[in-house]
Amino acid sequence: MKSADVAVAITTYSLTHTDARVNACKAGTRVLSMPMFVAEMFYPSGPMTSDYREIDEETRKIAEWITKANQARVTSPGGTDITLSVKDRKGIARMLVPKLA
Q: For 2-33, what is each residue's pLDDT tens digit?
A: 999 999 988 888 898 999 999 999 999 999 98
All residues at 6 or more sequence positions from 72 whose CB lies less than 8 Å from its CB, including other chains: 66, 83, 84, 86
User: Rounded CA gap, 86 and 68, in Å?
Assistant: 9
Confidence of residue 99 (pLDDT cuts 50, 70, 90): low
User: Rounded CA gap, 23 and 9, in Å?
Assistant: 15
Confidence of residue 69 (pLDDT cuts 50, 70, 90): very high
User: Rounded CA gap, 64 and 82, in Å?
Assistant: 20
Q: What is the pTM (predicted TM-score) of this model?
A: 0.56
